[in-house]
Amino acid sequence: MFVEQIINALQIGSTYAIIAIAFTLLIGVLNLLNFAVGEIFMLGSFFALTFLFIGLPFWVAFILAIVLSGLVSLVVYYFSFDLLKGAPELIPLVSTLGFSILLQNAAGLIWGAERQAFPESISSSIVYFGPIGISPAQIAIFAVGILLMISLDQFIQKTRIGRGMRAVAENPRTANILGINSRWVIITTFFASGVLAGASGILFSISYFIVEPLIGFHAGIKAIAAMIVGGLGNVRGAIAGGFFIGFIEIMSMHFIGSEFRDIIVYALIFAALIVLPQGLMGVVKQEKGRI
């Protein structure tokens, strides 16, 4: 049924939206793209898989995995940004690309390069509400995704650190004059980005029951596309872009076929950007650091 496809689109769209936010936070605060976010997405799945394998309850495994993902993001920050402070902007960008390849190959060596089955952590048995079928896993994935998005939005808008993030995004020098520790804000932003990427990877693996070293690459490309469609540096735009891509992906699979999924998704992204080059919630001349 069409309604069930809408539910599927909301489910996968929420995972794309979360990883798109992970990219957007760093674009907003640093005006730099961190290519390693996709691989942190992948590591989140592998971390959770490992914790589940040793017998930990799912929610314990989930929390530990996203915290580890945040710590990996801090490692990327230290080597790709902190140590390269003052270098031309292209250097940290290339460094994160190198980290992306490093993490991908490290995952292949540790867990193996082959696709692995992710255990059914939440029941996927279909429950029918009249003619509409939905699983507890779909409800949980969407609910966790929405909770993460709302929590982050409120954190940015209403907490002291969130206000610091917005201040650093607008003008780091002025933020320092006002007494805001920009380095601490950047560290917090990197950690939050890693947590979100790891959580998104786990939700993705729950959706498709798979995990492999390459899932981060494909998800990362779609997340960057979602971020661009939504409007660079805009968290709410990243959310809209993630759901937009999820909707297009599921509908193209349903009506045309999975082999044409990516072709249709990226073609429609190009078409959307021709109509709205600033993105769904961006501005024509994008200001640095709109989060």
pTM: 0.87
| Amino acid at site 177 | I
Structure tokens at 213: 């070293």
Tokens of 87: 């270098």
pLDDT digits (tens, 9 = 90+) for 60-86: 999 999 999 999 999 999 998 888 887
Domains defined for the chain, CATH in brackets: 2-118+136-275 (1.10.3470.10)
Assigned token pair, 131: 């003619």
Query: How many residues can be counted in the chain?
Result: 291
Element (H, E) at 116: strand 116-117
Contact partners, residue 9, CB within 8 Å, separation at least 6? 243, 246, 247, 249, 250, 251
Place of tokens 């007494």: 179
Question: What's the DSSP call for residue 119?
Answer: P
List helix spans (H) across 90-232.
Answer: 90-111, 136-158, 160-170, 172-177, 182-208, 215-230
How far apart, in whole angstroms, are the C-alpha atoms of residue 24 and residue 33? 8
Q: Which amino acid is at 123?
A: S
pLDDT digits (tens, 9 = 90+) for 170-210: 777 777 777 787 788 889 999 999 999 999 999 999 888 88
Instruction: For residue 227, give both structure tokens.
Output: 């971020």
- What pLDDT does 279 receive? 66
Find the radius of gyration of the CA atoms of the chain.
19
Q: What is the pLDDT of residue 37?
A: 94
pLDDT for res 221? 87
Taking CA 46 as the corner, what is the angle to CA 232 and CA 165, rounded to the nearest 5 degrees? Answer: 30
271 or 117, greater pLDDT = 117
Residue 284 binned pLDDT confidence (cut-offs 50, 70, 90): very low
